[in-house]
Structure 1
Amino acid sequence: MTENNNNELNKEVKRRRTFAIISHPDAGKTTITEQLLLFGGAIREAGTVKAKKSGKFAKSDWMEIEKQRGISVTSSVMQFDYDDKRINILDTPGHEDFSEDTYRTLMAVDAAVMVVDSAKGIEEQTKKLFKVCRMRGIPIFTFMNKLDRDGREPLELIEELEEVLEIDAYPMNWPIGSGKTLLGLYDLYHNRIEAFRPEESNKGERFISLNSEGEIEGEHKIKKESLYKQVLEEALLLKEAGNEFSEEAIAAGKLTPVFFGSALNNFGVQTFLEIFLQFAPEPSSHETRGGEIVQPAEPTFSGFIFKIQANMDPRHRDRIAFLRICSGKFVKGMDVTLSRSGKKIRLSNSTQFMAESREIVTDAVAGDIVGLYDTGNFQIGDTIYEGNDKIEYQELPQFTPELFMKVEPKNVMKQKSFHKGINQLVQEGAIQLYKSYHTESYIIGAVGQLQFEVFEHRMRNEYNSEVIMSSIGNRIARWVKPEQLDENMGSSRNMLVRDRFDQPLFLFENRFAMRWFSDKYPEVELTSLL
């Protein structure tokens, strides 16, 4: 690659901002995603997941079951330009049953936006997702949503954020009221007020500038409100007793900038986006299994598969492998090597996403997410690279399921479509597959109940295969080394099965059964996934 091309690549990489939006269900994550897409000109109108009667659905929700339920079940990828930045948003499932897909998606981003319902505060799923971000040390930006509804006191929300998630917080703005009393946002970062209803303001201005003391100059309608005086006191307290603003602490994932607003009313969202783009990191380096660090601006192309999704387009029964580009430049038709097998592959069919609408991509650079049409070559966690020097990125985390079901086809004459469906959904990571040790009966594992419902729905609608599922309940899965295994160790309380890689494991009925086993066979080492 010539020096000019190298400079051009470096410039393009620095423009990229790739992040995921995480939240508990119903915190408004899909709504804020749509508003960001509106600013980028990627969509013309915001649908709403609630508006089922009108037939309008969120642009980032494309799967049929998502439209029926009004929740995000899969991780969508959306790309748009704003303020000379190329933005890749990964809209992750908020539902706890899909945390596995969400966790893998978080391996493919450089930052996370955490959306919190200001009436509910930090909820269970938010905690789980936050832990993964913390594990990776990626910057986290917080958006306290639904300010248009009556919510909790902002000081209480900040305190909870710091105590529960053990991260320092820096409020970038501060609400002046909430719900029916919402007047606006006191913007501490820009030293201005953003009016909630500019048309009711003195001059119809959206932003009201403040003097060096942080107060409105001259006469103004908002100045007469008691809420304004209260916010001035709180702002003074934040300036004197709050955390110091630090770009280094944000970049290290130790300080989260906090923004208040209402995604549904598109209030505070644009201010958030502009500051986020200012402080969110450009594409980061990635470590290989050998411990080498690959920089994004290195000219040699490489990337890893973090998600596989079949049947995104029901008309074509296609299968897409989602690739995070880690270094260099992707060009349509390029030849690459699949690290796992050493197989050479030509990348002739590729796509970029705007939810259900897709367009052929001819080139992309480090930080971008590209969809590769897959005929069965790829698995989650695969590395692909160009050139002769092998690159293999670190493994993506796998998670131990807690719920298990026996599954069989309703119609034994449709065994072929049953096996095809199960194998494809397992390769996607939608479910985990096990087989009983002796009878080879299929057992599927999941993190939560909804995963089974989606599995059943997709088997019926995408693979024309009705299934019979019978629960074997909550189980504790623990792997054993084959050399330590005696098949007689299995019983009804610790079912012996194999995973899809033929590795043996026990499904324990409960913790008591697991302790009993460990006492009886102290030499057997039991291990879990993450």
Structure 2
Amino acid sequence: MTEVESHTPADTRVAAEAERRRTFAVISHPDAGKSTLTEALALHARAITEAGAIHGKAGRRSTVSDWMEMEKARGISITSTALQFPYRDCVINLLDTPGHADFSEDTYRVLTAVDAAVMLIDAAKGLEPQTLKLFQVCKQRGIPIITVVNKWDRPGRHALELMDEIHERIGLRTTPLTWPVGIAGDFKGVMDRRKGHFIRFTRTAGGATIAPEEHISPDQALDAAGVDWENAVEESELLSADGSDFDRDTFVTGETSPVLFTSAALNFGVNQLLDVLVELAPSPGSIVDVDGEPRPVDAPFSAFVFKVQAGMDSSHRDRIAYARVCSGTFERGDVLTHAATGKPFVTKYAQSVFGQQRSTLDSAWPGDVIGLSNAAALRPGDTLFADKPVRFPPIPSFSPEHFAVARGTDPSKHKQFRRGVEQLDQEGVVQVLRSDKRGDQAPVFAAVGPMQFEVAAHRMSSEMGAPITLESLPYQVARIVDPADADFVDRQFSAEVLTRSDGVMLALFSTQWRMESFQRDNPDVILRDLIAARS
């Protein structure tokens, strides 16, 4: 029997549904326009009828993907968000991520659950520190990158200069699919480099609705755009001569990155990005398990939990576990196995998540992101499966650089305090460290950046009803230490050993110099690195 003949109709259906999925993250430096682009993509796919206003405008709506009160107040993304919607013959699973470096760990978790990434670059600022880091994370994970140069409606740098910078600084060859007609700040439209025609955009009031676009043939484009068209044609020919035409094979392997030019706030160029995602981005494929074996999409059901989030709806005190379907078919009500504990997990309350909005989900396929309610037992990095056991690699924790003792301000709220700390720990908002010396009522919060402390304090007060104070500790460096050496390290000057909730013991040092000095003096004590939060 041939391989094709051995497939059952169910296997064929799973493969066909997986082929229709496009699961990707939108990532960038803060203020590059991620949430605005996310909203624009949903608008162009007709998933919403009107885009939310850019953050910070009094009396106007925030974007669909930014729903936390702190996000609305600050105008930045603090937590990642999932949006699912149909476009053409495909199902889009879009994950909006925080851009701020303090929330790098949340972005990293999302990148374990996607098949491609849309990297947004500000036309005026080019490659910024967080952008560079995220490029490297994608490269390490083998995630194909589509580069989007945003804010072309504002003054910025020359397009060729931006392409050179990307190639020189990160070694990624750019292969533009569209090219701007008009300099940054005078965005008339784009040249479709594959078809050769001019796509002219028309502004709408406030960019709240889809911008009309007109497709003009090359022989009429000169009359329509004049010298700007001539410049675009000349620069496109230079790109071709330099070998910068799109090649799918090198894109999928992460050697090249197709580039598009947009103004997300005006909805210019967004439709082209959606088409590129459908036509060029990879669909879900086999995912390697913890033993290095690939789990094909038509294998029995499996899913990978990459995020746990509570507080999405003040009227429901539940928590949502976001899981990426890796293989097989999901049906609501299925009894799955939780790989970490071997216990059954009932999926009666499965949901489709669109930002903060939820709806009942009956079925899902490889590449889909599902929301599992009342998932108290699930943690980021957990695996769920049916029939054939599997376990996917866990998500490593980042190395924290900021530490603070958390104390409840109201003794009568000690139960709420304990439950709140446990919930923040389970979600990965902060890492929670403890020691017998400090006691259970004075846990230490460990974070990549100080803004995580603000989120933790805000949620402890507003969601858990247990206000806290945070007292900073004089530590900057954390290393994993063997339990046999813990007492010795804990007695050292400017050092302390605390135990993380997963049982890992961390040695905290006041400075990098102090840690290196300790290692020189005590070469027999092994200190192991966590994942660096910043490159």
TM range (shorter): over 0.9
Structure 1 unaligned regions, length at least 5:
211-215
Tell me what 1:280 maps to.
281
Tell me what 2:46 maps to.
41
Q: Does 1:220 align with 2:228?
A: no
Measured at CA, do residues 198 and 77 of structure 1 come closer, stay the same or move farther in structure 2, by a change above 3 Å? closer
In structure 2, C-alpha distance between the alignment counterparts of 1:492 and 1:416, rounded to whole Å: 34
Q: Does 1:468 align with 2:476?
A: no
Tell me what 1:178 maps to.
183
Q: Does 1:50 align with 2:55?
A: yes
Tell me what 1:213 maps to.
none
Q: Is the 8 A contact 2:176 2:245 kept in 1?
A: no
In structure 2, C-alpha distance between the alignment counterparts of 1:310 and 1:205, rounded to whole Å: 41
Tell me what 1:27 maps to.
32
Tell me what 2:319 maps to.
319
Q: Is the 8 A contact 2:308 2:322 kept in 1?
A: yes
In structure 2, C-alpha distance between the alignment counterparts of 1:460 and 1:418, rounded to whole Å: 9
Measured at CA, do residues 423 and 272 of structure 1 come closer, stay the same or move farther in structure 2, by a change above 3 Å? same
* Alpha-carbon distance, 1:483 to partner: 2.2
- TM-score under structure 2 normalisation? 0.93
Dislocated runs of 4+, deviation >6 Å:
none
In structure 2, C-alpha distance between the alignment counterparts of 1:121 and 1:170, rounded to whole Å: 16
CA-based RMSD of the aligned residues comes to 1.9
Tell me what 1:333 maps to.
333
Matching of residues 216-295 of structure 1 within 5 Å: 216-217=219-220, 220-223=223-226, 225=227, 227-295=228-296
Tell me what 1:357 maps to.
357
Q: Does 1:208 align with 2:216?
A: yes
Which residue identity is paired with 1:401? P
SS in 2 for 1:427: helix
Matching of residues 72-111 of structure 1 within 5 Å: 72-111=77-116
| CA deviation map 1:189-245 (0-9, x unaligned) | 22111123499xxxx9711112xxxxx35871423x3x3333332222111123342
Which residue identity is paired with 1:364? A
Q: Is the 8 A contact 2:203 2:266 kept in 1?
A: no
Which residue identity is paired with 1:110? D
Q: Is the 8 A contact 2:144 2:251 kept in 1?
A: yes
In structure 2, C-alpha distance between the alignment counterparts of 1:184 and 1:496, rounded to whole Å: 58
Q: Does 1:374 align with 2:374?
A: yes
Matching of residues 129-168 of structure 1 within 5 Å: 129-168=134-173
In structure 2, C-alpha distance between the alignment counterparts of 1:221 and 1:478, rounded to whole Å: 62
Tell me what 2:428 maps to.
429
SS in 2 for 1:405: strand
In structure 2, C-alpha distance between the alignment counterparts of 1:420 and 1:518, rounded to whole Å: 37
Which residue identity is paired with 1:348? K
| CA deviation map 1:112-149 (0-9, x unaligned) | 00011101101111112111111111110011000100
* Alpha-carbon distance, 1:22 to partner: 0.3
Q: Does 1:406 align with 2:405?
A: yes
Which residue identity is paired with 1:12? E
Structure 2 unaligned regions, length at least 5:
1-5, 205-211
Identity %: 39
Tell me what 1:484 maps to.
485
* Alpha-carbon distance, 1:375 to partner: 4.4
Equivalenced residues, count: 517
Does 500-509 or 176-185 show the bigger shift? 176-185
SS in 2 for 1:181: coil
Tell me what 2:419 maps to.
420
Which residue identity is paired with 2:83? M
Measured at CA, do residues 518 and 437 of structure 1 come closer, stay the same or move farther in structure 2, by a change above 3 Å? farther
In structure 2, C-alpha distance between the alignment counterparts of 1:449 and 1:412, rounded to whole Å: 26
